[in-house]
Structure 1
Amino acid sequence: MSLDRSSVALYASRIFISLAGFLSTVYFARELGASGLGVYFTFETVVIVLGVFTRIGIDNAVIKRLSGADTDYQRGVYLGGALVLVVAPFVVLSTGVLLFATQLNTLVELAVAPLVALTLALGTGRELLIAVLRGERRVATSGLLELLGELVRVGASVALVFDGYGVVGLIYGYVIGQVAAVVVGTPLLRTRPRRPNWGTFRSLFDFSKYTAGMQVSFLAYSWMDTLLLAILVSKSAVGVYEAAWRVSAVTMLAGQAIGTSLAPAVSDWMSSDAVERVEHAVSEAMTYALVLVVPAVVGAALLGDAAMSVLYQFETGGLVLTILVAGKVLQATKDIVQSTLLGTENQRVAFWVNVVTLVANFVLNLVLITYFQLLGAAVATVLTAGTAALAQLWYLRRIVDVRFDWTALGWQVAAALLMGTVVYGLSSQFPPTTVPRLIGLVSVGAAVYGLVVLGHDGMRERFLGVLPGEQSANA
């Protein structure tokens, strides 16, 4: 499993998801401003945070157990067990949302408590659907379902904002996107829930008790900073920070797609003692997970200020964007290592590393946001991602021989530096003060980088190897 068809299909769907999300965010920022955007992002943050505590790692356990099950009946039992296990957390959290509606509405600065409870139910169902599809080894289909939900969300949100609904339109659009994913995704499942037993619950819980910690740590890297900015600073700060974060997140698409396909494949290989395949896959995964991150660091350093001002019409955010993009080098490494640890049944290690870094992230965010606001949030997130990546990599090297392809990585760096030289020269002649000029500079940079990267024989062969007709597809 290197950059195989399932990874590429998921990667392609997420490219479209990110493009749709990026373009819509530009539109919403111009229509609603940083403060309006910040209100929506605060609502979204609350829903996602509560969703993680509702699922308590069950969705990752579903992927693991279904991918290792021998029969449809076994898969159905695990699905039935998962549905039972998420009911109690959902009831507790949704009840809490309604009981503390006043405080929640004050935080978001909008009366959203009933919508939060509704979206929590829909989001939990959506994540379980995606988990089942991935457990059935239908990674590409899960990616298409994600894409559908995002396109519906964006389309509904744009229509509602255009019709004058403002921030409320964004929230309604989010709910509509979740409904679409659940309605379309349910009939796609090949697995049907069956009555679980105590052994089912134990099996799911034995895995989820560790992956729950990893999901909570995901909050630290993706949402804790946003939540603390909403509480300690302002909704305008949230809007600027999240806009920068979402641009930086595009660079993670390759790593996330590869990591998603990597975990179940590693599980299969380890069960058949094919350790050398794991080692080769990890080496390749590290290389291709950084294929977008490396040039993005150079691009953000050169064009970060222009991107935030020209696209979003924000006066700040360029330096924050550069720091966040640079941090994705560490985050991408962490994602690949963590996926491999899960596949090798070392979720306990990943859990404890993430628990420690979660605490560190909270403390760093609390202190640095208080003194440095947006920059503090970005630095805190980068520091904790780096700590987690190094700790998990140290442990993984005790299990398998992890080798970096320094030649390919060096080629990426050289290509990015050449790209930066070209972009810098052109930007001095054609300053990126308008959208067409900014897009033109980005396009030229991407072309230069792509051509140079493809000059590397190994990378060129690997990329050509995933084109249609080169290998069988995974549905």
Structure 2
Amino acid sequence: MAEGVDRDSLALFGARLAGSAVGFASTVFFARELGASGLGVYFTFETVVVLVAVLARFGVDTAVVQRLAGAGDATERARYLTGAFGIVTVPLLTVTAAVLLFADSFTSLVGLAVAPLLVVAIAAESGQWVLLSALRGERRLPTSAGVELGGELVRVGASVWFVLDGVGPLGLVYGFVLGHAVRVLAALLLLDTGFARPTRETMRSLVSFSSYTAGVNVSHLAYSWLDTLVLAIFVSKAAVGTYEAAWRVSVVVAMASTAVGASLSPSVSAWASSGAIERIEESVTESLSLALVLVVPAVVGAAVLGGPFMAVAYGFGGGTLLAVLVAGQVAQSVKEVVQSTLLGLDRPRAVFVANAVGLTANLVLTVGLALAYGPLGAAVGTALTAGVAAALLWRALSSEIRLRADWTALAWQVGAALAMGAVVFGASRVVTPDSAGSLLALVALGALTYGACLGVHPPTRARFVGLARSRTES
């Protein structure tokens, strides 16, 4: 894979890992301060914000990455960015009117009277992703990663302060709004791309691309948030709190794939413009291995230590739920890499079709299973949906390039993960994972075992040693 993609992936992954570590620690704190129901209120608010903001953005943020990455000069980039905000403005105003008009319904759903805050949060959520996408379109992933991390630190810090001050779940809402506002301001200050009046061709190009990626974003929205919304409406806020606590742990293990996908798309776009198809094929093969390097051992780890982890960290159950959600990230990781490559190749229609089918499967599986079996049913439906979408996207990309997986590297990952699981399971018979200290010791033992087993494979060892050196020298 090109060194730039590796390095940018590492920068984004590192920032998101740090942000997730901070977010996880804060969730543990909030769970103990507010309980599963209190967390559920906040997670429901966040779900509504993300859901509505994705609809308002109309997929234009993904179009911004692709169009800015392929733009010929600064003026063209400025036109695309300005045009993107123009496209977002109309649906955002419509959403604002709807939230204020149906304020009582949103209050009933969330459990707090927060309609004005919803409007501000939706605007900030939409703005931050357009601006972060512009940074990625400039091929400045480390900068966008830093902005993401800074906003997360502000969110957590403000939320902790408000909760300690006795504000309750509303304090988490205040923190969310402040964190997003910081991201918007920071991205605006750091962007090299300015603003310029868009041409008719600019708007046509953005709308053409985003009309497909809007469907992709809705599908991703359903995959990430539909289950939470169903639980909030039909089950309870406590179920939402438990489910989201487990879900956010599972998402951490897939951050490598999201980082790889985010860095791969603009690079593929540039390579495709110059006809470097072999470079794309090589990068996809290596990206698939890198994307799964944390997910594979996490599946085994969640199966062995999922129950103790949920009990020690949050004070409530959900071990099986966590294991199912982590397993679902295998297919989601493959989907991230393949989908980003198709978008970089300017094949949004293929991505749209695959995600439309995935969305239909999600509506049937996740909603049906969630209503029948609660959080665990929602987790199974979500995992199956990711598998359907990944298979369809793989088939679509294989018709564009020679799509190959490095089966030797993947086999080493699976073997190392199974060895790790055996070691940790045996150790857990001696050291009971019923406290933070014993649990961390077992996790550390597992990480060392997995790393040592991977290190025996020369190509994998050389890959990560080279990546570490390039990052140190950059």
CA distance in 1, matches of 2:201, 2:334: 35
CA distance in 1, matches of 2:256, 2:285: 14
Secondary structure at the counterpart of residue 466 of structure 1: helix
Maintained 8 Å contact 1:465/1:471: no
User: Is 1:231 matched up with 2:233?
Assistant: yes
Q: CA deviation at 1:467?
A: 2.0
CA distances 1:37-74 after superposition (whole Å, capped 9, x unpaired): 00000000000001101111111111111111111111
Q: CA deviation at 1:470?
A: 6.5
What is the aligned length? 472
CA distance in 1, matches of 2:367, 2:129: 30
Question: 1:170 matched to which residue of 2?
Answer: 172
Question: 2:453 matched to which residue of 1?
Answer: 452
CA distance in 1, matches of 2:106, 2:470: 52
Q: CA deviation at 1:197?
A: 1.7
Question: 1:271 matched to which residue of 2?
Answer: 273
CA distance in 2, matches of 1:463, 1:232: 46
Question: 1:13 matched to which residue of 2?
Answer: 15
Task: List alignment gaps of at least 5 residues for structure 2.
Answer: none
Q: CA deviation at 1:366?
A: 2.0
Question: 2:103 matched to which residue of 1?
Answer: 101
CA distances 1:81-115 after superposition (whole Å, capped 9, x unpaired): 11111110000001100000000000011101110
CA distance in 1, matches of 2:456, 2:196: 52
Normalised by the length of structure 1, the TM-score is 0.98
Q: CA deviation at 1:404?
A: 1.0
- The two structures, once aligned, show a CA RMSD in angstroms of 1.1
Q: CA deviation at 1:469?
A: 4.6
Q: CA deviation at 1:466?
A: 1.8
CA distance in 2, matches of 1:471, 1:317: 39
User: Residues 284-295 of structure 1: matches in 2 within 5 Å?
Assistant: 284-295=286-297
Maintained 8 Å contact 2:7/2:470: no
Question: 2:256 matched to which residue of 1?
Answer: 254
Specify the code of the residue in structure 2 equivalent to 1:246: R
Q: Once the two structures are aligned, what percentage of the paired residues are identical?
A: 52
CA distance in 2, matches of 1:434, 1:470: 36
CA distance in 2, matches of 1:187, 1:407: 45
CA distance in 2, matches of 1:343, 1:181: 25
Specify the code of the residue in structure 1 equivalent to 2:177: V
CA distance in 2, matches of 1:27, 1:157: 11
Specify the code of the residue in structure 2 equivalent to 1:317: G
Find 1:91's aligned residue among 87, 90, 93.
Answer: 93
Q: CA deviation at 1:472?
A: 6.8
User: Is 1:305 matched up with 2:296?
Assistant: no
User: Is 1:216 matched up with 2:195?
Assistant: no
Question: 2:378 matched to which residue of 1?
Answer: 377
Question: 1:437 matched to which residue of 2?
Answer: 438
Maintained 8 Å contact 2:7/2:471: no
Secondary structure at the counterpart of residue 320 of structure 1: helix
Question: 1:351 matched to which residue of 2?
Answer: 352
CA distances 1:303-349 after superposition (whole Å, capped 9, x unpaired): 111111111001x2110100010111100001111011111111101
Task: List alignment gaps of at least 5 residues for structure 1.
Answer: none
CA distance in 2, matches of 1:365, 1:63: 30
Q: CA deviation at 1:295?
A: 0.4
Question: 2:62 matched to which residue of 1?
Answer: 60
User: Is 1:207 matched up with 2:224?
Assistant: no
Secondary structure at the counterpart of residue 165 of structure 1: coil
Specify the code of the residue in structure 2 equivalent to 1:249: V
Question: 1:428 matched to which residue of 2?
Answer: 429
CA distance in 1, matches of 2:470, 2:406: 27
Specify the code of the residue in structure 2 equivalent to 1:404: A
Maintained 8 Å contact 1:214/1:351: yes
Specify the code of the residue in structure 2 equivalent to 1:309: A
User: Residues 328-339 of structure 1: matches in 2 within 5 Å?
Assistant: 328-339=329-340
CA distance in 2, matches of 1:154, 1:373: 29
Question: 2:244 matched to which residue of 1?
Answer: 242
Maintained 8 Å contact 2:81/2:195: yes
The change in CA–CA distance for 1:472 and 1:350 in structure 2 (over 3 A counts) is farther
Q: Greater shift after overlay, 25-34 or 463-472?
A: 463-472
Secondary structure at the counterpart of residue 399 of structure 2: coil
Q: Greater shift after overlay, 375-384 or 269-278?
A: 269-278
Normalised by the length of structure 2, the TM-score is 0.98
CA distance in 1, matches of 2:369, 2:257: 28
Specify the code of the residue in structure 2 equivalent to 1:451: A
